[in-house]
Amino acid sequence: FECTLAMIAKNYSDYPEIRLHFFGMLRAITQNCFPAILGLSSAQINHLLDAVVWAMRHTEYHVAEEGLNLLEELLHYFAESEHASAFYRAYFHQILQVTLGLLTDTMHKPGFKHHVRILSNVLAYLDAPQKDPLWDVDASATVAAATAASRGEAIPEGSPAPEPAAAAAAAALYTDNATYVRDYLHAILLRSFPNLGSATSLELAKGMIERRSDYRAFKQLIRDFLVASKVYGGTEAGSLFDEEAAAAARREEEALHTRVPGMMPVSALPPDSMDGQPGFA
CA distance 59 to 23: 15
* pLDDT at 49 (0 to 100): 92
Cα 103-119-36 angle, rounded to 5 deg: 115
| Non-local CB neighbours of 65 within 8 Å, separated by 6+ positions | 110, 111, 114
* pLDDT at 128 (0 to 100): 80
State the CB neighbour count (10 A cutoff) for residue 68: 25
| Backbone angles phi and psi of 258, in degrees to 5 | -75, -25
User: Is the C-alpha dihedral spanning 182, 185, 190, 195 positive or negative?
Assistant: negative
Question: What would the pLDDT profile of 166-203 be if each residue is shown by its tens digit?
Answer: 555 666 677 888 988 898 888 888 888 877 888 888 89
The reported pTM is 0.73
What are the per-10-residue average pLDDT scores of the chain (281 residues)?
A: 70 74 92 93 90 89 92 94 90 91 85 93 86 72 59 53 49 80 86 82 93 93 86 50 55 59 52 47 41
* pLDDT at 227 (0 to 100): 84
* Cα dihedral: 40, 178, 184, 231 (round 10): 90
* pLDDT at 217 (0 to 100): 94
